[in-house]
Structure 1
């Protein structure tokens, strides 16, 4: 795949500054729900869903060319919880990004992210615009931030620390959004004093103490899942290396958001991969290790030993 070949090349990141003819990176499914609120005009939800999907899918976020089959699939679920005033929406958001496994038709979850303070102003008449260096609207900033986060994490799975340029772009969005005074959309989540998930997840990904997580993504996917069909034992060994590094980082900084985002996406798959291992000692080591750092999914890990 082209992304695998590009992983070894230096990445020159130029932000889009016009209608450049190249394939888009994202293929997002967007679902907006209103289970807890009443909206008099349901077409607003339909319009919101369409505008968010098109904003994510119809622009080139990087200078790299992605074939249609290589676009990063993600599912974004937005639940409107309250409408404080006309045109203002307080929401919760869950995002799951996936990645194809080389040589198979299997899509593997890469990351699962929750944002409990996904709040923005919206009207069907507004135009969602993105500027790399200035604030336009909170919805634009939120979507752009998560677009670069997803691209960065995906790049980390194809090349060691390959996502760094995209985390820097996400950081730029955090900085100008935290300092914006041009609209009535104050969002403490950009400062880390409101929705801690958004601010601290990026901090985790760019903190040198968590480098084992990012190199672990490469070992888990490129040296693990991508070769599993042909070399299952070698793949499991690489995945154990990845998980051991993640465990050590988790012990150093317990409770950090990056570990929750990783294990929420991967626990079931990890159990499935190692359940068929012929190495009983490897299974026991895995279960002991992951039960310690991810006790919430311990029941799934215990199935490895059955």
Structure 2
């Protein structure tokens, strides 16, 4: 098992130039940015929800999601698109959420209905189901699980379990707001399954390698090379694996910089096959 302290995210353009900094690999303190799209709502509803983004952001940033001795932040980007589904006095909405860690993990969910009364506080309690905050908490736990997997082998499992607990309770306990919870439960069960284990192991090797980029390039390349070999096997077994494909999109530039000056460029030859969209970048280095 690889265990290493967090490294901190700075400007990625600077990273590509210097290979000295990279994303946090232990991320528990939430720093969020929330945007709302209220254009389909009646003007009266829009006026009442002007502070909804700020309240959601405060909820995300102030809730005690977990303990972290390094107090390392994870940046969360949230976009909420709301449609009015109100009946009578109850304000009810159909929502679409796009939530990401601003780097390499993103989820999109359109099957979401929730109740929210203008002026109500937004709070999450693991023992008190809520049609709005339970969905938010579910995806926060998924992102934290993915972040902690970068810190050590399978280190995110406890947060995936938290997400599964939210999904199981919500699927059977939210009454008329259960839409989407069957799919969310399937999603987190997949993350905890043996089928997803090779991907999680690959992520651990990759970020373990990144933790050495500022002090030992050979160690960095060794572990990142192992990660690329694992990535190759994942895609060989499942060519359409969306998580492997998204990993490549998020990290191909880092991989190029790590191996640009390496004597052994076999990892780049592997990436040439795995990532044909950026073939020219790999060939420019390999053909020098």
Same fold (TM over 0.5): yes
Report the alpha carbon displacement of residue 271 of structure 1 after superposing the two structures with TM. Answer: 4.4
Aligned to 1:185: 177
Match of 2:81 among 79, 82, 91: 79
Does 1:283 find its partner at 2:271? no
Contact 1:94–1:114 under 8 Å retained in 2: yes
Correspondence for 1:40 among 43, 60, 85: 43
Aligned counterpart, 1:242: 227
1:259 is matched with which residue?
Answer: 244
Pairwise mapping of residues 109-188 of structure 1 onto structure 2 (< 5 A)? 109-135=103-129, 137-182=130-175, 184-187=176-179
1:251/1:88 Cα in 2 relative to 1: closer, same or farther (>3 Å)? farther
Give 1:210's match in structure 2, choosing from 185, 193, 196.
Answer: 196
Contact 2:167–2:181 (8 Å) recurs in 1: yes
**RMSD (Å) for aligned C-alpha atoms:** 2.7
**Secondary structure of the corresponding residue to residue 79 of structure 1:** strand
Q: 1:71: how far off?
A: 1.7
Q: Does the CA contact (< 8 Å) of 1:26 and 1:57 recur in 2?
A: yes
Which is bigger in relative contact order (C-alpha 8 A, separation at least 6)? 2
Residue 174 of structure 1 deviates from its aligned partner by: 0.5
Task: State the match for 2:281 in structure 1.
Answer: 303
Q: Distance in 2 between matches of 1:59 and 1:134?
A: 14
Give distance in 2, aligned partners of 1:94 and 1:201: 15
Question: Deviation above 6 Å: which 4+ runs of structure 1?
Answer: none
Distance apart, 1:256 and its partner CA: 4.3
**Residues 275 and 39 of structure 1: CA distance in aligned 2, closer, same or farther (over 3 Å):** farther
Deviations 1:8-60 (A, max 9, x none): xxxxxxxxxxxxxxxx721111111235x244043444322112111111011
1:4, CA displacement in angstroms?
A: 3.9
CA distance in 2 between partners of 1:246 and 1:88 (Å): 43
Unpaired segments of 5 or more residues in structure 2? 7-27
Higher CA-based Rg: 2
CA distance in 2, matches of 1:299, 1:25: 35
The answer on whether the counterparts of 1:205 and 1:258 sit within 8 Å (CA) in structure 2 is: no
Separation (CA, whole Å) in 2 of partners of 1:45 and 1:185: 20
| Shift of residue 154, structure 1, vs aligned partner | 1.2
- Asked if the contact 2:77–2:101 (Cα under 8 Å) also holds between the matched residues in 1, the reply is yes
For the residue of structure 2 that corresponds to 1:172, the secondary structure is helix
* Contact 1:152–1:163 (8 Å) recurs in 2: yes
